[in-house]
Structure 1
């Protein structure tokens, strides 16, 4: 025990005192509608919610909000019946079994980078068995799969977004919800409104849900932020043994989005926001070279180049591996 205490004492002398971090859900009694959202701003709304819940807001708190709720206050909801699909949208919709009006909205949001044949992939016997194992309603899963036959992936806000992040379900009747045009500006506006109304300086993060490549399930990530440095800047620092470390650039805003996502949920939880208290973070740093999510985004064209170089290098690895004429070591 004494030996363990020595480690703990040394750590407490070098580092800051550890504080408890709390994630407080902001649950709503009723869902927000476009009509209601038009009567006030997002900042005013959150102040009212916090007052009703008896939650005090303090400096350095972090408000994490789903993009869908922000979109409602930004006026980014649209009636699907009002969308007139172009010829391109009608042709693509026919070949990929999607509503041409949905295709039209996806195209307006950005260029489609690739298309996932979701139904064909999901019908793999082992994967399908897993999907049903994790399903709360197997029949509902089957019905949903018939709707989501193909997924169009669009690159936006430094993320690969399924169907451009447009929410065709779980939206008010007859509406679909688009992502905020500029989530960082929306986050900044909410932050400034809260500061004006309360005098408290907080950070705001806007989230969306994306699929996890190669894993079952999805993950909440950040698509916008304000008042917080989105990434830690520790690359090159010496590690515990004095060696320079290439890593250390942790995506703070994605980690917080993931924490909040576990509390907010994606179905009928009616919790579109959380307030995180007790977290130590670096404030946002002004940058003349990058704006918003550009700071953490890959430069244009680098993704394609990286994929190509990775493919060639991996091919070269397999060629060299083959000519070693030796089996791969067994797992121990």
Structure 2
């Protein structure tokens, strides 16, 4: 059982560009900072650097909006080209709305990866390009696995990797980092069947380990700090075959669908 953990933002990570070797950049920066990974460490890495390395940036000038995108654009006061990208990244629009106090509205969508998020996680901020939109990597789990394997080969230790993104939460203010891709790190810890401190059996307890790790990483990262990777050390966990989708609630359990 872990009684303490440490979180350290990895300094010196360069501005990642399309085609850059993200694995090598992370390894170099950890060595230079004296943060050589140890057995059981977990790397929390922001989605944006994966998307930049994998070329997931779409110039708006290359997008022709559909009739549906134009309609949403007019209703929400949003650029129909961005709306078109949101629609392409989504399997469905859960709700679209614009409050009277909003300049532009929001689309709550089910992303092609299964996550429910605002604007299908399509982003226009904090990646250094104008008139462009960034989308999530095609396969976040595969992206995490490549980094995990490269770190294992370079340093000879078993680590975990969590890809993080910033989501809002229903009925709660603000945003928080959540896990959207995993390598080796369990999505949840199933406590069902174990006993609580008073000997009562746990029936539904299932801590969201990957999201807890992702959220914790946000404590040492600033949006303007250019520190997209965090090294977590000291956590007691067991490597497993895991996927980001493992943390998505099954549709048959969704009471709000």
Q: How does 1:298-317 map to 2 (within 5 A)?
A: 298-300=249-251, 302-303=253-254, 306-307=255-256
Check conservation: 1:158, 1:296, Cα contact below 8 A: no
What's 1:216 paired with? 173
TM-score between both structures, scaled by the size of structure 1? 0.71
Deviation at 1:195, TM superposition (A): 1.2
Paired residues in the alignment total 255
Question: 2:164 matched to 1:164?
Answer: no
What's 1:200 paired with? 157
Unmatched segments (≥5 aa) in structure 2 = none
Question: 2:136 matched to 1:179?
Answer: yes
Q: How does 1:96-115 map to 2 (within 5 A)?
A: 96-115=76-95
Deviation at 1:184, TM superposition (A): 1.1
Question: Once structures 1 and 2 are overlaid, which stretch shifts more, 18-27 or 253-262?
Answer: 18-27
Change (3 A) 1:236 1:109: same
Question: 2:230 matched to 1:274?
Answer: yes
Deviation at 1:161, TM superposition (A): 1.2
C-alpha RMSD over aligned residues:
2.0
Deviation at 1:162, TM superposition (A): 1.0
TM-score between both structures, scaled by the size of structure 2? 0.91
Question: 2:248 matched to 1:294?
Answer: no
Change (3 A) 1:113 1:302: farther
Deviation at 1:199, TM superposition (A): 1.6
Question: Once structures 1 and 2 are overlaid, which stretch shifts more, 198-207 or 105-114?
Answer: 105-114
Q: Distance in 1 between matches of 2:229 and 2:116?
A: 22
Question: 2:5 matched to 1:25?
Answer: no
Q: Distance in 1 between matches of 2:44 and 2:98?
A: 30
What's 2:210 paired with? 253
Q: 1 or 2, which has the higher helix percentage?
A: 1
Question: 2:136 matched to 1:152?
Answer: no
Question: Once structures 1 and 2 are overlaid, which stretch shifts more, 275-284 or 77-86?
Answer: 77-86
Query: What secondary structure sits across from 2:256 in the alignment?
Result: helix
Query: What secondary structure sits across from 1:217 in the alignment?
Result: strand
Deviation at 1:19, TM superposition (A): 4.9
Q: Distance in 2 between matches of 1:200 and 1:250?
A: 26
Q: Distance in 2 between matches of 1:159 and 1:100?
A: 22
Choose 1 or 2 for highest CA Rg: 1
Deviation at 1:181, TM superposition (A): 1.4
Check conservation: 1:160, 1:210, Cα contact below 8 A: no
Q: Distance in 2 between matches of 1:85 and 1:118?
A: 20
Question: 2:32 matched to 1:83?
Answer: no
Q: Distance in 2 between matches of 1:19 and 1:91?
A: 53
Q: Distance in 1 between matches of 2:162 and 2:99?
A: 33
Check conservation: 2:94, 2:110, Cα contact below 8 A: no
